[in-house]
Amino acid sequence: MMASLNFKPNDFSEIPYTVYSDEEIYQQEQKHLFQGKAWHFLGLDIELPNPGDYKTMPVGDTSVIVVRNKNGNLNAMVNRCAHRGNLVCVEDHGNLDCLTCVYHNWTYDLDGNLATIAFEKGIQGQGGMAEDFDKSCHALQRLRVEEYCGLVFGSFSEEVQSLPEYFGPEMCKNIQRVLGRDMEILGRFQHGLDGNWKLYMENVRDTYHATLLHSFMTTFRLNRLSMKGAVEVSEGGLHHLTYSIRSQDNDQGQYNTKEIRAQNDEISLKAPELLESWQEFECGTTLAIQSLFPNFSIQQLSNVITLRLIVPKGPLKSELTWWVLGAVEDTSEQRAMRIRQSNLVGPGGYIAMEDGAVVGWVRRGITGAEGKKSVLAMGGRDVERISESRCNELAVRGFWQGWHGLMEN
């Protein structure tokens, strides 16, 4: 399968458009990425505070139950009854003493063990399960579960490294910076996208587009490529981090040309308090976008902190979920600022809605482009570990390096 994509050896600067639409490639991703040697975001530990609290989450095409057991530990199991394959949990969240399949009333404890079977011994001495049936052999399929800074991840692989090893020290450092404190959920959005999930992950990692597509970001100087910042890519390309510092802008008029559509001096805010902020981090970072392979990202934009999970829904559709977070220690004024700034993100966000639109436009643009490729040559063709220039497509090339490596395993 991989040979048909015609990747040049160690060159991820040209990507065949077929990767965004091919059904066979999509099915291979389910096997090698979503059920392979990778960790997948399952939610926040604060979403399940009490024993019996559960939620369902997608790992690729597979529905997974995440539940806190009676000892307070989190478990993750495939949402599939061991009897006939029915969904065990039909609702997307709730609180239960046990997990019961509505089809034939098979019941599992909160660790996924098969506890009871309706009419296991039959009725009036007739029927019942076969004599050699062993309930201990029919538990729900379990995933490995690990937590890091309140983030819960699961994996189908027993071979994948621990979460800190999988992320690497530089990625862990940023996660700790942003989330290494008691957090609360301020809001949650979910919406569909008209394109392949990888188009969105490319967008998340694309520092080149950020101040060209987004007029709001450029015009109001939330981010410009002339600001101090960098791009970091983990070993093997799987993860990335880009950041900028608004107060350190070496702008020499690069954006003041007619060619830069995003700079629009005719735009003004009727409610300038939308952009009120405070310096939350000693490092001065005002924008940080981090992706954790395959489909999860953490973003700090001024003081609005968001998590994003992009879930494939077939080769041509995807679904995006946002969590908007605040710190428990926030003052009432700080909390209000975060909530106002959340208008920048989500499906109708002044910045984020443009990313969702572009995913659909690219999907439509590459329809019928068999044999054609995209070009990722801004900043060169290599996958360097770090670049102080964000005028490049380094992190996007890194995504494809990581994707290719896992797909070949």
Q: Lowest mean pLDDT: which of 43-47, 81-85, 89-93, 217-221?
A: 217-221
Record: fold of 40-147:
Rieske Iron-sulfur Protein (2.102.10)
pLDDT for 145 beyond 90: yes
State the pLDDT at residue 4. 52
Both tokens assigned to 124: 């009036």
pLDDT for 1 beyond 60: no
State the pLDDT at residue 253. 67
Q: What is the pLDDT of residues 162-188, one digit of tens each?
A: 999 999 999 999 999 999 999 999 999
Q: Do residues 375 and 13 touch, judged by C-beta distance below 8 A?
A: yes
Q: Lowest mean pLDDT: which of 33-42, 165-174, 223-232?
A: 223-232
Q: Lowest mean pLDDT: which of 88-92, 271-275, 325-329?
A: 271-275
Task: Report d(CA 382, CA 393) in Å as an integer.
Answer: 10
Q: How far apart are the first and last CA of the chain?
A: 12
State the pLDDT at residue 2. 47
Of 66, 11, 51, the closest CA to residue 373 belongs to 11
Q: What are phi and psi of 291, to 5 degrees?
A: -110, 140
Across 129-154, average pLDDT:
97
Identity of the residue numbered 180: G
Task: Report d(CA 385, CA 302) in Å as an integer.
Answer: 25
Most confident of 198-202, 241-245, 381-385: 198-202
- The DSSP 8-state label assigned to residue 31 in this structure reads I
pTM of the model: 0.94
Both tokens assigned to 21: 């639409």
User: What are the beta bridge partners of residue 184?
Assistant: 326
Q: What is the pLDDT of residues 332-376, one digit of tens each?
A: 999 999 999 999 898 888 888 999 999 999 999 999 998 999 999
The share of the chain scoring above pLDDT 70, in percent, equals 95
CATH code of the region 165-407: 3.90.380.10
Strand order of the β-sheet with 151-155 is 40-44, 151-155, 144-148
Q: Residues 339, 343, 346, 352: what is their CA dihedral angle, to the nearest 10 degrees?
A: -140
Write down the domain spans for the chain: 40-147, 165-407
Number of residues that this document lists for the chain: 409
Task: Report d(CA 113, CA 98) in Å as an integer.
Answer: 10
Q: Which residue has the tokens 């099915």?
A: 27
Q: What is the pLDDT of residues 270-295, one digit of tens each?
A: 888 988 999 999 999 999 999 999 99
380 Rama sector, left if φ>0, alpha if ψ -120 to 50, beta otherwise: left
Collapsing DSSP states into helix, strand and coil, what is residue 386? strand
pLDDT for 59 beyond 60: yes
Q: Which residue has the higher pLDDT, 212 or 251?
A: 212
